Amino acid sequence: MRASYRVKRGACGQGSRWRTLEIPSREVWNQDPDALVSHGLVWFTDGSKTLEGTGAGVRGVRPRVELSFPLGKHASVFQAEVFAISACVSENLKRGYSNQHIQICTDSQAALHALKSPRITSQVVLECTNSLAALGQKNKVRLVWVPGHSGVAGNEEADVLARKGSSDTLTGPEPAIGLPYSYPLGSIDNWTREKCQEDWSRGIGLRQARLLIKGPGAAATRSLVNLNRASISIITGLLTGHGRLNKHLSTIGLSP
């Protein structure tokens, strides 16, 4: 069962009135992107996961700041997106801003909705929410969705920084920010598939079946379960050699 975390007072519900969340349409961004972030302090954040690893990037437009964070190989894209927002908030707290309009733009709607939700099931979301609460005590914070890879300069620059983080080496032990909920499930699934494939390849007998069936496959399974019972019976017989063919019928004594 997934754990739920307690949020500090003022981080959600009535205490979140200092914080607004906006998801403008792509058309609005395309018409005049500067109008959406025309005043105050403007930041863009992004997360990235590649074959090399996971990273987070923060690009400050006002003030001009560039931050890149390697997050190791186990962090998910969602964790990276939320961590990027959290790192941006930490940078604002470190600068000691007061009575400022602070706008943080991200292309992750999943991260925005998680930060606004009254129920939190992720440690990284909890930490980010509490940091936002601290920043919002003396400032007005606005979280804004920006369409990804749509030519918005700040977002593109944050993406470059996030990719840099994903290729940089993590200093310290893994996992950097905890394991995502999907990680152990995926690991178990991969182990099960590998073990099944190993047992199938080393099996004794079933010569024809092992020759024609290379191993478990989700696509083949989906195709088979959508067939009727008669069709499945015929295909199974052909693949295993146990169908109504003369050789098999002769083997079991039903055909001369």
Element (H, E) at 11: none
- Between CA 67 and CA 161 the distance in angstroms is 7
Q: Determine whether domain 13-182 maps to CATH 1.10.150.300.
A: no
Secondary structure (DSSP) of 19-53: EEEE---HHHHHH-HHHHT-SSEEEEEEEEE-SS-
Instruction: Give the pLDDT confidence score for residue 15 in this predicted structure.
Output: 41
Residue ranges matching CATH 3.30.420.10 in the chain: 13-182
**Contact (CB, 8 A) for 46 and 57:** yes
CA distances from 33 to 24, 42, 145 (A): 10, 12, 12
Confidence at residue 4, expressed as pLDDT on a 0 to 100 scale: 46
pLDDT in the model for residue 145: 94
Query: Is-above-0.75 flag for pTM?
Result: no
Q: Chunked in runs of 10, what are the mean pLDDT values of the chain (256 residues)? A: 45 48 81 78 97 97 97 95 98 97 96 92 94 94 92 94 96 88 80 84 78 79 86 84 71 69
Q: Where are the beta strands (DSSP E) in the chain?
A: 19-22, 41-49, 54-62, 65-70, 101-106, 140-145
Q: Which two tokens stand for residue 130?
A: 């509490």
- At residue 199, the pLDDT reads 82
pLDDT at 58: 99
pLDDT of residue 10: 41
